[in-house]
Each structure stands twice: as structure tokens, then as C-alpha cells.
Amino acid sequence: MFDFLTSKNPKILVVGDFMVDHYIWCDCERISPEAPVMVVKSKKEDKRLGGAGNVYANLKSLGADVYAIGVIGDDESGKFLQENLNAKLFIEKDRKTPLKSRILSHSQQVLRLDDENDFETKLENEIISEFKKIIKDFKAVILSDYKKGTLSDKVCKELINIANSLNIPILVDPKGNDFSKYKNATLLTPNKKEAMNALGIDSLDNLEFFIKKLKDDYGLKYSIITLSEEGIAVFDEKLHIIPAKALEVYDVTGAGDSVIAMLAYALSLNIDILKACELANKVAAVVVAKVGSVSVSFDEVKNLEKSSFEDKIKTKEELIKITQNKKIVFTNGCFDILHFGHIKYLEKAKKLGDILVIGLNSDKSVKRLKGNDRPINNEFNRACMLASLYFVDYVVIFDEDTPYELISFLKPDILVKGADYKDKEIIGSNLVKKVKLIEFEDGFSTTNIINRIKNDRKNRK
């Protein structure tokens, strides 16, 4: 699947609407007395490349050599893009660089504020001229259209004609109900709703007919429709459905950007379109399991490919290497007999960040804490049961009585404990940014299960 990684990093050009995604992470503990709205306290904020910039970031993460062409305003958001893109960015008077501010509480988006203005570029000739000047050096082109005025009819048609004349794949993430300006592109990546709008229909019941109609109407080499949780439909000479790979969906922001980035990367290396769509599905599966606009690396896609959950059992040294620049959620315990209460607790913990790491007490540690008749299951079996849960990213076994040393080494962002720790000392709380208490499901505990088994045995006698 990943043999092509030995190839040189392909040069890919992104042209389109570049913007800034602004995330404000908040805590919410009450409702306002003035109105039925949440009162939030800002804890952290960050800015990321958005729109066509997210396509650019995904290509960089995959290993491509990326360059960009776009139009920005003379403002702070424009400066952010200039500092973070290898690009020719034309500054246009009176234009606002689109800034999308998202307020999130407990990893859930509660509000989005867009700061932008409707703007059709007057710099069409400059964009086309720059494209002509550099296009021969690239193996693929992406037009990332967010209807912010950069990709006018004239720009799209000229760029597609130039790329076709040089036999360079040109892929388009389309917007709007009229796809005529994208005619003769290599492929488009509309979702179901966009495809139906462009075709003027209410249903895709006859998928093969309509996906072929898109191909014929717009002179595409390949016709593609992304089908959300159903995967990707692609028509070359016949219809193929590439099933989705996602097991969990937290946020679909940027999934389309990641899909077109992977398709362009694959086609630039002459990979078959069906294999390219398989890879795009895997990339999308990684993206939707995270919060916000994110880029995806091949290491993450490879992890999705792994057939054995034993690969999720790591040493602390291995974890340091693979969890960099991720929001790490950490919890710990013996997890001797895995039950429904554990599963719900861990599922809630996963939603608090990017990666959930479980510190698992070793057999020696459990015996010291709970007596010589414990654990019931050995540490390897316990680790495998935890690792088999799709929302658990990694398990690390520790020998100490407490996880303090492990927490000190991993430096997680969030430490999760059960709600029964309220008003109690939480070991390692001084080493993390935040402690989160999660309510347990009533009526579930390993000790109760063991006692019930013992009582059943006594009653049988």
C-alpha cells in the first residue's frame, strides 16, 4: 500500500481561497442569568491554515513539496498566511482575509464567527500569469474553491486549459450549483449535496447514471462523489464504491480538504485512481476522529492499517515519539475485568483530546495494591483488551504503585479520573494543564463482579 513513499516528494500547486481558522478552547460551567446561553472562559486559542490553506497543510504533512497562489487582504490574517505559506499571495485593496473563529467547549463547537467580505478578485490576469510562469515544475494542481472570489470563471477555465495542455492533473474542490467553470478538469470532489445541486436533482438513487452524467457533462477524466459515512463513489469506465474507513466521527471539518490532498498526491505519483480513493478514505477516517482543521501524516494512516491491536501497546519512550504536537488525554488503572462502566468512561475520555493514552498497572503493581489474589487477568491480556477498543489509542504498562513518574515523563494535556475523586488528592494533577472528572456508570465495578462470582459459587455449594 505504501511502496510509493520511496518516491521523491512530488511538487504540487494549490490555487484558491486561503483563510485562517481560529480556535478558542473554553470551559463552560454555567448558563448565563441574562439569557439561555453558555458562559464560557477562554483557556487556549490557536490559529491554523484554513480553506485552501488546509489543503496545503495536508499536502505538506503527506510529504509533498507544496507551493500556493492566492489573494489576501492587507490585515493580520493576511500576514499570518504570508508567514506560514510558501506562496505567491497577491494583496488586494479593501479585501478582508477570511477569518473563521470557532468557540469550542469540551471539544464541541458551540459558535462560529466569520469575519470576511464578499469579494470578487480584480487580479485575474496576475493569477493566470503567475500560474503560467511556474506550472511546468509541478506534478499536480489543486483548485480549492470556497467561493471567496479568487477562483473566478476566467481563472478556473484558463488554469484548467493550461494544465491540460501540459498533461498535468488538475483537481477541483467545487462550490456552488454551477460546475461549468470547472469543465475539463481531471476530477471534481463534490459531496452528495453539491452533486445533487449541480445536477438539479433531489436524490442520487440512480448513482451510476448521475455520476456518469457528471463525467460526461463536465468532460472529466474521473467522476467522483464523496458519500460521507458510505465512502467514495468513483466512475472511470464503470461505477466503483470505495467503502469508508472511519470508526468514530467527532468533527468533519476539513475532511474534504484532506481527501483532495491525498488524491492529488497519489495522482502526481501515477497511482491508480481506485487505489488513490482507498488512500483518501483512510486519510478522511483519521481526520474525522479529530477536532478542527487538521493535517494527516502517513504514520497516522499506517496506524489505521494495522491489523493487530497489540501494536497499540507501547513503551513510554515510544509514546514520546509518536504523540508530539497532539492533545494527549491520560488516564490510568488496573482494568482487571473490563466491563461496561470502563468502556463508557474511556469513550468519554477520548472525546477530550486527540490521543487517549491508558497507563495500566503491571501485575506486580496490582498485587501490591489489591492483594495476592489479584489481578484476575495478566497485564498482557488486560492491555490487549483495552487496545482492542477503537477509541483507545495507546496503552502503556507501568510498575510503580502510582502513575506519577509516567505522567511526569509523558506530560499529557489532560488527566482524567472518575468523579469519585472529587475533593481527593489526584496524583499527577500538578503535572498537567487540566484535570477532568468523569462520572462512572452506576452499578459497575470489578470488585462487585468478583464478589458476585464468589457468592454464586457459595450458593451453588
Per residue in 436-456, pLDDT (tens digit) is 999 876 656 666 776 777 676
Q: Which CATH superfamily is domain 1-306 in?
A: Ribokinase (3.40.1190.20)
pLDDT of residue 249: 39
Binding positions are: 191-194
- On the question of pLDDT at 292 being above 50, the answer is no
Residue 419 per-residue DSSP state: G
Average pLDDT value for the chain: 86
pLDDT of residue 304: 55
| Residue bearing the bigger pLDDT, 290 or 173 | 173
Binding positions for ATP are: 191-194
47-61, 116-130, 391-405, 432-446: lowest mean pLDDT where? Answer: 432-446
- The catalytically annotated residue of 251, 257, 336, 393 is 257
Catalytic site includes residue 272: no
352-385 pLDDT per residue, tens: 988 899 999 999 999 999 888 889 888 888 998 8
Query: Residue 205: which pLDDT band, with cuts at 50, 70 and 90?
Result: confident
Neighbours of 184 (CB within 10 A): 14
Q: Please confirm whether the linkage preceding 403 is cis (ω < 30° from 0).
A: no
126-130, 253-257, 293-297: lowest mean pLDDT where? Answer: 293-297
Instruction: Return the residue matching grid coordinates 485552501.
Output: 52
Query: Residue 220: which pLDDT band, with cuts at 50, 70 and 90?
Result: very high
Q: What mean pLDDT do residues 275-304 have?
A: 67
pLDDT of residue 247: 45
- On the question of pLDDT at 260 being above 90, the answer is yes
Within 13 A of 118's CA, how many CA atoms are on the CB side?
Answer: 0
Residue of 321, 297, 303, 324 whose CA lies nearest to 5: 297
Q: What is the DSSP string of 270-323?
A: T--HHHHHHHHHHHHHHHTTSSSS----HHHHHHHH---GGGGB--HHHHHHHS
- Contact between 142 and 16 (Cβ < 8 Å): yes
309-456 to CATH, choices 3.40.50.720, 3.40.50.2300, 3.40.50.620, 1.10.10.10:
3.40.50.620
- On the question of pLDDT at 73 being above 50, the answer is yes
- CA atoms of 241 and 363, how far apart (whole Å): 47
Neighbours of 248 (CB within 10 A): 13
Model-level pTM? 0.65
Residue 302 CB partners (closer than 8 Å, separation 6+)? 2
pLDDT of residue 307: 44
pLDDT of residue 214: 94
Where in the chain are the domains?
1-306, 309-456
- On the question of pLDDT at 16 being above 70, the answer is yes
